Amino acid sequence: MTSPRPVEQVLAAVDSTLDQSLERLFALLRIPSVSTDSAYAAHCVEAADWLVRDLQGLGFSAEARATGGHPAVVAKSAGGAGPHALFYGHYDVQPVDPLNLWETPPFEPRLAVAEDGSKRIVARGACDDKGQVMTFVEACRAWKAVTGSLPIGITMLIEGEEESGSKHLFDFVKANKADLAADVALVCDTGMWDKQTPAITTALRGIAVEEFKVVAANRDLHSGMYGGAAANPIHMLARAIASIHGADGRIAIPGFYDGVEDLPPDILADWKALNLTAEDYLGPIGLSQPIGEKGRLLIEMISSRPTCDINGIWGGYTGEGSKTVIPSEAWAKVTFRLVGKQDPAKVREAFRAHIRAQLPVDCRAEFFGSRGSPAIALPWDMPVLGKAREALTAEWGRKAVTIGSGGSIPIVGAFKDDLGLDSLLVGFGLEDDRVHSPNEKYDLTSFHKGIRSWVRILDAIAA
Amino acid sequence: MTSPRPVEQVLAAVDSTLDQSLERLFALLRIPSVSTDSAYAAHCVEAADWLVRDLQGLGFSAEARATGGHPAVVAKSAGGAGPHALFYGHYDVQPVDPLNLWETPPFEPRLAVAEDGSKRIVARGACDDKGQVMTFVEACRAWKAVTGSLPIGITMLIEGEEESGSKHLFDFVKANKADLAADVALVCDTGMWDKQTPAITTALRGIAVEEFKVVAANRDLHSGMYGGAAANPIHMLARAIASIHGADGRIAIPGFYDGVEDLPPDILADWKALNLTAEDYLGPIGLSQPIGEKGRLLIEMISSRPTCDINGIWGGYTGEGSKTVIPSEAWAKVTFRLVGKQDPAKVREAFRAHIRAQLPVDCRAEFFGSRGSPAIALPWDMPVLGKAREALTAEWGRKAVTIGSGGSIPIVGAFKDDLGLDSLLVGFGLEDDRVHSPNEKYDLTSFHKGIRSWVRILDAIAA
């Protein structure tokens, strides 16, 4: 009789202690650590402190480190003789508005049963990124509980500003190179291909964020007195926004596509084979037709092509009833997703020039660009990539795929540039997780098998 | 030695009691009677009750009458043997947002000194319409104080829903025809031609009010996951708004101009002679070029041509920082100013059809039209028109002009249709009064000479 391999014992421990793992996640989800709104700053500290205490309990040396913004949790534990890994995730969450669309309060996590009988964790941050972070933490806990140690040495970096662009983390990484030294980075903030198919993300779109306003008269005007004569900045903003995309779905800003290249034919063939249909991808959200560039695959539109979305717009009277006003200004927030070698700074300048060119003589635009980061492509020959793919395939019973992601994780670029680390991006989010939306959820299966996946990946990397 | 004519004694009384008149106006201005926001309903009642008490003190039989919405003040006093007049004004005011642009709190009236040394009353409602209403009330007070009676019998109707479309007043007028019976209506809710030149308004634009939203996905989406594929309702709303006006400044909604006629050549010639320049009209608000229909006079654009203005727009994330969201819907509020025989119901239907035609397959529009009223043209041969013009000319030392107004006073149509009354529209507002805007003001001269003007007009009508 042979004793089971350690990894099997650790997986069994994960299964038998899932309820306690869930309780810990719920405790973290109850903390409203919204990073983009300064009113929640104390809760960001609270979430960081919660993680520090939890990781200290696991035997990590852990502390909440000052960054100039919300604190970053840095925790370290020695492990086996394999490569040392830097794990990255974030404890901050998106704002919850519109609050009235939440079925239950966003910071009161609950386990709900879906129509198909499956269970899901519902709360802001359930998936992005608290649930994902805790898959890794719980995997470490299980290894420690069963074997007394970790298969490899691990440094965790769990930040509090990912949803606001990781604005202080870049300097923090630069200033703490020695402390964060590792052989590879592990990042858990991405998704599965579908409910059954695990995925490793090897390309990430970049981002450029802008806020701007169109200003006309020097004060709000009565539309009965000035309507028909005075420029209305809402109309001008609307025209400017309408001019961003052409009828072919392409972005009509001159120079925008500089640095964008088509996919290599073999990758394009692989992606065609994945056969992502509008019915599958858009059907669940109530849509039927991709709105992107004509002639492109849907999977290209969402992962390998650059985009522009207005994320918010406001101006004039927005209260109850009506007000016959022509406002003096109108506002919009916009994000660009960037790919290939697009330069965020050049995209920003091209956008500003384009918007200004749309405005009539009495209107002007003012811009408040906040941040940007270029796209990232990871090496397909990363040593740990094959190992992780095998571990994921073993856990899920289906071959793990390598995909591009539409989202941005800007710090991955800094890991390469400042720490010399390639990043393995593995996550268990699903398309219907309502990330950034009301009623965000994380399937209990994602959480449970996510923990198990990391148990296997750590084992595989150590081997 | 002849004793002075009564009117001269009354004018002298106005001059000597101006401080007390101002105190009473300030008391009324302190009541935040915003009619469009239900949170202020109790203050609307408070303003009505204040007027009732004040008018009772003048010897009017006065009461606040239920309308189904905010109460209407009805007050009556017998007078000389001339025609009986129905005076109309409103005690409700516009919302005050954006509050941060007010130099002092909107409901704490104050007397400010302008750069040219003139004094002005600053408060929400200082002009529109509390200040204007009180010019008439104070004129009546002075007549009563000096002569013990009024030159003509007067019924006052001071409503509380003008800023929200007088929505209950139409039924109220229909239900109280006998009570409101008169020979002519006097309305004080319009403006002067300029600081020196009094005006009688003989045409009023109509209005159609709509609120609508564009809906795309069934929930808010993460722009990193769905950007480039999912329809963004902010973009679609922007395109729809951009499509309302053509490059020639005309409204591009099919059928919109049905019922719109050019001015008679003689009126057009008069208006040309008034020589309203962009520099004069738009310069003070920081603009230089009229944005209306190419080939039209500025004075046509603002008074005899129909218009469309988006008064408010909102959608997506509008808080601090950024949120990478594609919202499920985006909203706008819109008003049309109507002229001639334009039918508000037909304009509304044409607008809805036009917006729907702009939207792609996955987007739909929902409309929440609230009200509309056609334009009104008053007879140039009204008996009291000549008398009022002489009275105004005597007071201001400059010939009173007859003009069209860009604004709407829908109840004037009901006075004609239900009560058989033509309306004499006289007011003392100025273009720079910031009506509906932060820091609304009413020149002390408008208030003072406005009272004196009504003293003279009542005398002239009685003669």
Of A230, A315, A407, the CB nearest to B282: A230
> What does the DSSP 8-state code read for residue A118?
-
Per the CB < 8 Å rule, is B234 touching A97? no
Per the CB < 8 Å rule, is A434 touching B219? yes
* Overall average pLDDT of the A197-221 stretch: 93
Q: What is the pLDDT of residue A413?
A: 87
Per the CB < 8 Å rule, is B319 touching A361? no
Overall size of chain A counted in residues:
463
ipTM for the predicted complex: 0.73
Angle at CA of residue A364, ends B306 and A257, nearest 5°: 110
Contact residues on chain B for A211, CB-CB shorter than 8 A: 322
Per the CB < 8 Å rule, is A320 touching B36? yes
Q: How distant is the Cα of A459 from the closest Cα of chain B, in angstroms?
A: 31
Instruction: Judge whether residue B406 has pLDDT over 80.
Output: no
Contact residues on chain B for A318, CB-CB shorter than 8 A: 312-314, 331, 333
Per the CB < 8 Å rule, is A227 touching B370? no
Contact between B58 and B101 (Cβ < 8 Å): no
Contact between A134 and A51 (Cβ < 8 Å): no
Contact between B115 and B182 (Cβ < 8 Å): no
Q: What is the pLDDT of residue A1?
A: 47
Residue B111: how many other CB atoms lie within 10 Å: 12
Instruction: Judge whether residue B2 has pLDDT over 60.
Output: no
First-last CA distance in chain B? 23
Q: A372-403: per-residue pLDDT in tens?
A: 888 988 776 677 998 999 999 999 999 888 78
Instruction: Judge whether residue B1 has pLDDT over 60.
Output: no
pLDDT band at B3 (very low <50, low <70, confident <90, very high): low
Contact residues on chain A for B348, CB-CB shorter than 8 A: none
Angle at CA of residue A12, ends A188 and A20, nearest 5°: 65
* Overall average pLDDT of the A213-223 stretch: 95
Q: How distant is the Cα of B462 from the closest Cα of chain A, in angstroms?
A: 33
φ/ψ bin of B220: left (φ > 0), alpha (ψ from -120 to 50), beta (otherwise):
beta
Contact residues on chain A for B40, CB-CB shorter than 8 A: none
DSSP string computed for B327-390: -SEEEEEEEEEE-TT--HHHHHHHHHHHHHHHS-TT-EEEE---EEE--EE--TT-HHHHHHHH
Per the CB < 8 Å rule, is A316 touching B333? yes
Q: A309-339: per-residue pLDDT in tens?
A: 999 999 999 998 888 899 999 999 999 999 9
A364 bridge partner residues: A215
Q: What is the C-alpha to C-alpha distance for residues A143 and A84, in angstroms, rounded to an integer? A: 16
Q: What is the C-alpha to C-alpha distance for residues A385 and A401, in angstroms, rounded to an integer? A: 11
Q: B31-46: per-residue pLDDT in tens?
A: 999 999 999 999 999 9
Between B268 and A252, where is the model more confident? A252
- Residue A269's contacts (CB-CB under 8 Å, 6 or more residues apart) are none
* A105-129 exposure pattern, b = at least 16 Cβ within 10 A, e = fewer: ebbebeeeeeeeeebbbbbbbbbbb
Average pLDDT, chain B: 94
Backbone phi, psi, residue B358, to 5°: -85, -15
Q: What is the pTM of this model?
A: 0.74
Q: B297-322: per-residue pLDDT in tens?
A: 999 999 889 999 999 999 999 998 88
Contact residues on chain A for B288, CB-CB shorter than 8 A: 361-362
Q: What is the C-alpha to C-alpha distance for residues A327 and B437, in angstroms, rounded to an integer? A: 9
Contact residues on chain B for A312, CB-CB shorter than 8 A: 234, 315-318, 323, 325, 327
Per the CB < 8 Å rule, is B291 touching A231? yes
**Mutate which: B94, B271, B285, B297, vs A, most A CBs within 10 A:** B285
Query: What proportion of chain A, given as a percentage, has pLDDT over 90?
Result: 80
Closest CA to B280 of B430, B122, B108, B444: B430
Q: Which helix (H) or strand (E) holds A308?
A: strand A307-316
**Mutate which: B239, B311, B437, vs A, most A CBs within 10 A:** B311
Per the CB < 8 Å rule, is A436 touching B322? no
Query: What proportion of chain B, given as a percentage, has pLDDT over 90?
Result: 79
Per the CB < 8 Å rule, is B220 touching A316? no
- Domains assigned to chain A: 6-204+376-462 (3.40.630.10), 206-260+306-373 (3.30.70.360)
Token pair for A26: 């719920």
pLDDT band at A81 (very low <50, low <70, confident <90, very high): confident
Q: What is the C-alpha to C-alpha distance for residues A448 and A142, in angstroms, rounded to an integer? A: 12
Token pair for A3: 């004793």
Backbone phi, psi, residue B81, to 5°: -80, 0
Contact between A152 and A460 (Cβ < 8 Å): no
Contact between B376 and B417 (Cβ < 8 Å): no
Contact between B59 and B154 (Cβ < 8 Å): no
Amino acid type, A35 = S
Q: How distant is the Cα of B441 from the closest Cα of chain A, in angstroms?
A: 13
Per the CB < 8 Å rule, is B228 touching A406? yes
Contact residues on chain A for B166, CB-CB shorter than 8 A: none
Q: B417-433: per-residue pLDDT in tens?
A: 999 999 999 999 998 89
Q: B50-91: per-residue pLDDT in tens?
A: 999 999 999 999 999 999 999 999 999 999 988 999 999 999
Instruction: Identify the three-state secondary structure at position A63.
Output: strand
Closest CA to A303 of A267, A332, A344: A267
Instruction: Judge whether residue A4 has pLDDT over 80.
Output: no
Token pair for A271: 């992606």
Per the CB < 8 Å rule, is A316 touching B310? yes
Tell me whether strands B364-367 and B206-215 are parallel, antiparallel or unpaired.
antiparallel
* Overall average pLDDT of the A242-260 stretch: 97
Contact between A112 and B341 (Cβ < 8 Å): no
Between B277 and B399, where is the model more confident? B277
Of A245, A298, A321, the CB nearest to B37: A321
- Residue A333's contacts (CB-CB under 8 Å, 6 or more residues apart) are A209, A210, A211, A310, A311, A312, A313, B316, B317, B318, B322, B323
Q: What is the pLDDT of residue B264?
A: 79
* Overall average pLDDT of the B353-370 stretch: 94
Between helix A444-462 and helix A18-29 the angle, nearest 10°, is: 110
First-last CA distance in chain A? 23
Q: What is the pLDDT of residue B297?
A: 95
Between helix B383-396 and helix B444-462 the angle, nearest 10°, is: 140
Contact residues on chain B for A310, CB-CB shorter than 8 A: 232, 234-235, 238, 316
Q: How distant is the Cα of A289 from the closest Cα of chain B, in angstroms?
A: 7
Contact residues on chain A for B241, CB-CB shorter than 8 A: 234-235, 238-239, 242
